[in-house]
Amino acid sequence: MSIHSENRKKVTVKSIAKYKGSEKIVMITAYDRLFANLFESQVDMILVGDSLNMSFLGRNDTLSANLEQMIYHTKAVCNGANTPLVVFDMPYGSYNSKEEALKNAVRVYKETDADAIKIEGGSDRVDIVEHLTKNGIAVVSHIGLMPQFVRGDGGYIVRGKTPEDEAELLKDAKMLEQAGAFAMVLEGIKTDVAAKITDEISIPTIGIGAGLGCDGQVLVWSDMFGFFEEFTPKFVKKYLDGANLIREALGEYVDEVKEGKFPTDRYSY
């Protein structure tokens, strides 16, 4: 069990580069202060992901997330996360051009304490990544299975299954690195292809459904702790039976209230 010390140093865009080849990066999503604070002493990076709108709003995909919501949740996360590097997930439709991307990313930097932003997309987003990084915005790229493209792609499709697709992913990764991205999420990519990308670029890769060869891993907290029950993708390992633990505890509370056993004197004035 890993409980890191309370005097860890702040993880920065610069220090995260040093993990490559020496220590695996642990990233988790968080959407509020409470959970960011629970996670903060053990993880290296926190992603305020637009997965928020699936886990907590109940939508079928992430496309409904907007800038206002993401800013609100990122402010909450930053209030609880002192040492992890906090990444703001730019919502669908907020970075369609380089001008729009910069305007919105500047707003994110002004209104939150996020250390970096994440954008989905391959070579088609290179000019945007370049424009953002030249203007002082730290960018995490996200390639492979890109949830913001799910409607256009016709579903959640694992990438890297053909030599052509492998070549495209490799090209994308190299171009995004060149454009200035300091880290890259690899989602839903065949293990060998993700490992190859990791070997061929000098920035850290963070996998989700991309196998052991990545420089780090990210999971959505409500998936890995068993709270999201609608479906479980193959790459999600459940580290806790969260929903059932809550049900049991709630059942105890309900019984005690119904039976007039709560509150006892201990909980009364």
> Can residue 141 be called a binding residue for ligand KIV (CB under 6 A)?
no
Minimum distance of ligand KIV from residue 148's CB (angstroms): 9
- Residue 221: in which H helix or E strand, if any? helix 221-224
Comparison of 235 and 262: residue with beta carbon closer to ligand KIV: 235
Contact track, ligand KIV, 39-58, x by CB under 6 A: --------x-xxx-------
Cα 31 from Cα 118, distance rounded (Å)? 15
Minimum distance of ligand KIV from residue 250's CB (angstroms): 26
Contact of 186 with 144, CB cutoff 8 Å: yes
Residues 103, 104, 106, 107, Cα dihedral to 10°: 120
Minimum distance of ligand KIV from residue 236's CB (angstroms): 10
Query: How big is the chain by its Cα radius of gyration, in Å?
Result: 20
Q: CB 78: neighbour CB atoms within 10 A?
A: 19
Minimum distance of ligand KIV from residue 31's CB (angstroms): 9
Residue type present at position 236: V
Q: Which of 46, 185, 194, 214 binds ligand KIV (CB under 6 A)?
A: 185
Q: Which of 44, 89, 130, 177 binds ligand KIV (CB under 6 A)?
A: 89
Minimum distance of ligand KIV from residue 118's CB (angstroms): 7
Of the listed 6, 187, 229, 252, which one is catalytic?
187
Contact track, ligand KIV, 90-129, x by CB under 6 A: ----------------------------------------
Q: CB 79: neighbour CB atoms within 10 A?
A: 15
Does residue 256 carry a catalytic annotation?
no
Binding to ligand KIV in span 209-228, by CB under 6 A: 218, 220
- Residue 126: in which H helix or E strand, if any? helix 126-134
- Quick one: tokens of 65? 């997330």
Terminal-to-terminal C-alpha distance of the chain: 40
Cis omega (within 30 of 0) for bond into 163: no
* Catalytic annotation, residues: 187
Binding site for ligand KIV (CB under 6 A): 29, 47, 49-51, 62, 89, 185, 187, 208, 218, 220
